[in-house]
Structure 1
């Protein structure tokens, strides 16, 4: 054996693994906001609402449990706490329930017609040329921006029995004679006119909002529905309507609240003295407080109206929560 064969090979030390390359810089993680930040941002708005609405609401609740008339208003007698007597007196009055039913029917008619007409006009605006859409939007914004008192005065002139242009135009139709016809001789006809006035002022907001919502409906979904054999009604029912559901729920709830609180249209149209067949909850509360001078019972009626509207708001919040869970 040679010397070269007897030499032991040298051991090679193991190599250390190279460190991994540094990770590429990613997006910075968003900082978590504290739970009190949203309330801090809402604080100015909540403070203003508390100052503007807090005292009137507390005063309304206080008066509803008191006997408060002209003597108490002028300080000749102190206000007397009478518990629930104002509420029992209102709830036991048959005229009050007639007013409640009339208000619900009036508001329901206004809301349904407003939403149907608003949806039809919004769908129509999607199928007209650009300049027509611009003209219609200008007309909608102009009618929406008109003050309620001005719009009520215009409608009062349109339906006037002696000088109203509507009677003159309709009388030109064959077999129609409405010269001198008084639209406010009966409650249903007069409330129908006031309903038209309310709808005329509410439709522009609904149309503009629904038109904005229709721009968010994916065109590929509508095209896929048509390829599956759906007609125009099928596309609207199964594609457009579900996407617009949150907007429709919001608009319907707001319309109910606004139409339940209609006051200047009825008050001005009837010259400041609405007849019993024209009374709604708002005007009925006003008459009890400032015509009969029973401020306690008027406050009780107003508080009952607020509770009814809170029920509508509760239904709205429940529907919105359901929509949020589905999404």
Structure 2
């Protein structure tokens, strides 16, 4: 036995994790504070005046300096008591839901196609959709109005003599059919690119393993691919619902091409007609606030689902 015994080494004291100081905790909030302030000013100030105007009798006289008359919630009461407005709201909701569903469906199918084909074909599809997406709205509408022109339109010519002189914009049902083609055609590229980006995150090894185990194409899509790209799908669907509810330019230009505004108005063109067209800016402001609230109601479910997915 040795005279000196080695003592067991003392364990080092565990280093305490340094707590962030007060300034460090506030740093992220201080960094985003300028952007939030600019956003609140850019959106909050116009929204404030929109709310104020919606509670006033604000017409052409007020545009030339006459003080507006405060009417409280009278403009909002007119919304709920006007049958024409409710028809416009119903048409807008149906148009919004149908177009958003078609856009997401076609966009998803094109994304799956891009994910399945070779590099050359995928590149051609992406360039074609990018050109369609980047084309200005007025230029796109000029082409489609020419295609569906009742006198010298290409569509009537291709459909044969039975459709010679047929006015697609005169009947409200065919009018919305043409509008749906245009809106979906212009929106599909965004959905396709977004969903395709989500598909690139799917592990091909998992798909191949499921295929070896005998899973069909639909089973692989709904049970493997869909849960992975669900957040992307929910975001694009939410955006499409918002955009299609507020569609204006396409409907307005189709109306100018020969449709009856009172039979084909959606919320955007109706607000424009009673505001700029009739000079009732108080009522138009009330309708704008109503559309904002309607958008929040439609978006609330999807926002909660996104928060749940994030958690």
| Same topology, TM > 0.5 | yes
1:181 aligns with 2:166: yes
SS at match of 1:126: helix
Question: Is the contact between residue 86 and residue 296 of structure 1 (CA under 8 Å) also seen in structure 2?
Answer: yes
TM-score computed with the length of structure 2 as normaliser: 0.91
1:277 aligns with 2:263: yes
| Match in the other structure for 1:167 | 156
Match of 1:75 among 44, 59, 65: 65
TM-score computed with the length of structure 1 as normaliser: 0.87
Match of 2:37 among 26, 32, 47: 47
Larger % of helix: which?
2
1:253 aligns with 2:242: no
Match of 1:195 among 158, 169, 180: 180
| Match in the other structure for 2:118 | 129
C-alpha distance in 2 between matches for 1:31 and 1:167: 71
Q: Compared with structure 1, are the counterparts of its residues 42 and 284 closer, same or farther at alpha carbon in structure 2 (3 Å cutoff)?
A: same
Q: CA deviation at 1:188?
A: 1.1
Q: CA deviation at 1:250?
A: 0.4
Structure with bigger gyration radius: 1
Q: CA deviation at 1:66?
A: 0.8
C-alpha distance in 1 between matches for 2:10 and 2:147: 84
Alpha carbon RMSD of aligned pairs, Å? 2.5
C-alpha distance in 2 between matches for 1:47 and 1:274: 43
Match of 1:286 among 272, 282, 285: 272
Q: Compared with structure 1, are the counterparts of its residues 158 and 12 closer, same or farther at alpha carbon in structure 2 (3 Å cutoff)?
A: closer
1:234-290 Cα deviation digits (max 9, x unpaired): 111111111111010000000000000101111122228861111011111111111
| Match in the other structure for 2:93 | 104
Match of 2:142 among 132, 139, 153: 153
Q: CA deviation at 1:31?
A: 7.0
Question: Is the contact between residue 266 and residue 274 of structure 1 (CA under 8 Å) also seen in structure 2?
Answer: no
| Match in the other structure for 1:209 | 194
C-alpha distance in 1 between matches for 2:25 and 2:269: 44
Q: Which runs of 5+ in 1 are unaligned?
A: 1-10
Q: CA deviation at 1:34?
A: 3.9
Question: Is the contact between residue 110 and residue 198 of structure 1 (CA under 8 Å) also seen in structure 2?
Answer: yes
1:320 aligns with 2:306: yes
Q: Compared with structure 1, are the counterparts of its residues 34 and 256 closer, same or farther at alpha carbon in structure 2 (3 Å cutoff)?
A: farther
Residues 11-30 of structure 1 mapped to structure 2, 5 A cutoff: 13-17=3-7, 19=9
Q: CA deviation at 1:313?
A: 2.6
Q: Compared with structure 1, are the counterparts of its residues 16 and 320 closer, same or farther at alpha carbon in structure 2 (3 Å cutoff)?
A: same
SS at match of 2:215: coil
C-alpha distance in 1 between matches for 2:172 and 2:140: 20
1:60 aligns with 2:50: yes
Question: Is the contact between residue 169 and residue 254 of structure 2 (CA under 8 Å) also seen in structure 1?
Answer: no
Q: CA deviation at 1:108?
A: 0.9
